[in-house]
Amino acid sequence: MSLNRIKLVVFDCDGTLTTGPSSWQLLHEAFGTLRQAEINAELYKSGKISYYEWAKRDVELWRGKKLDKAEPYLKKIKLVEGSEWLFQKLSSAGIKTVVISAGLDPVVQRFVKPLNPYNVFCNRLLTKDGVILGSVELHVDYKKKGEIVRLIMDKMDLCDEQVIAIGDSEADVSMFHVAGMCIAFNPSDAYILPHAKVVVRGNMFDLYKILKRNIKNL
């Protein structure tokens, strides 16, 4: 891969940019719906319901709940050390950064905002006056992140060799299929490993060492 060709780096959020529970798990913990969530997850994994139906059923569990009840639970989530520094380095090198998450916007946007990425894609939890309405706008399918990466590439007129994708789980494999460089960062499952060209464990300073080999002037 030519050092001067990289134009776009795409990140997952939960488990990649952040540590701690996913946004979905965090809200289930906050609202006491973990048991029903496990049932819904099993229905999806067994192929009995679609991802949209899974998301819809989960969000319906929170109908009428006040979103601010989850505030104390947000302390369980932290940005990976060096995240803001790395995003600034990429920006200074003229590299666009995009975050694609199957998580929910109240959590994802909160942690991604300080990174100032070029764009963020996540699922929107519908609320009114701070109360959850029990519905969701699905923008990111769990196994179809690659379709979003392809749309971005088309918009920016990029080829696969100009794109790096970084993720930690099965949900990120579709991104790896369209990006020229695929990095499994702190992988949370074994499924992602054979699809990655590089595996990195640690913090963003460790990831930087790998990116520096592939991005000119980083």
DSSP result, 58-101: HHHTTTT-BGGGGGGGGGG-EEPTTHHHHHHHHHHTT-EEEEEE
Q: Would the CA dihedral through 190, 195, 199, 204 be positive or negative?
A: negative
Task: Tell me, yes or no, whether 159 and 55 share the same domain.
Answer: no
Task: Tell me, yes or no, whether 133 and 175 share the same domain.
Answer: yes
Beta strands at 163-167 and 181-185: parallel, antiparallel or unpaired = parallel
Q: pLDDT band for position 115 (50/70/90)?
A: very high
Of 77, 39, 71, nearest to 58 by C-alpha is 39
In a domain, 60, yes or no: yes
This prediction's pTM: 0.94
Task: Tell me, yes or no, whether 95 and 192 share the same domain.
Answer: yes
In a domain, 3, yes or no: no
Examine the pLDDT at 96 and tell me if it is beyond 80.
Answer: yes
Examine the pLDDT at 137 and tell me if it is beyond 60.
Answer: yes
What's the mean pLDDT in 109-125?
Answer: 96
What's the mean pLDDT in 206-211?
Answer: 97
Q: pLDDT band for position 216 (50/70/90)?
A: confident
Q: What is the mean pLDDT of the chain?
A: 95
pLDDT at 4: 55
Task: Tell me, yes or no, whether 156 and 126 share the same domain.
Answer: yes
- Per the structure, the count of domains in the chain is 2
Examine the pLDDT at 68 and tell me if it is beyond 90.
Answer: yes
Task: Tell me, yes or no, whether 70 and 82 share the same domain.
Answer: no
Which residue segment(s) compose the domain that 63 sits in? 25-74
Task: Tell me, yes or no, whether 37 and 51 share the same domain.
Answer: yes
Angle, helices 105-112 vs 23-31, to 10°: value is 120
Task: Tell me, yes or no, whether 69 and 83 share the same domain.
Answer: no
**Alpha-carbon gap, residue 58 to 181, rounded angstroms:** 34
Task: Tell me, yes or no, whether 83 and 67 share the same domain.
Answer: no
Q: In whole angstroms, how far apart are CA 205 and each of 4, 89, 201, 210, 211?
A: 21, 11, 10, 9, 10
Q: pLDDT band for position 159 (50/70/90)?
A: very high
pLDDT at 217: 82
Counting residues of the chain whose pLDDT is more than 70, the rounded percentage is 98
Amino acid at 196: A
Q: Which of 57, 74, 91 is the last residue of a domain?
A: 74
**Alpha-carbon gap, residue 177 to 146, rounded angstroms:** 7
Task: Tell me, yes or no, whether 124 and 187 share the same domain.
Answer: yes
What's the mean pLDDT in 176-198?
Answer: 97
- CATH number of the domain encompassing residue 12: 3.40.50.1000
Task: Tell me, yes or no, whether 82 and 65 share the same domain.
Answer: no
Tokens of 49: 């319901």
What does the pLDDT look like over 29-67, one tens digit per residue?
999 999 999 999 999 999 999 999 999 999 999 999 999
**Alpha-carbon gap, residue 70 to 116, rounded angstroms:** 24
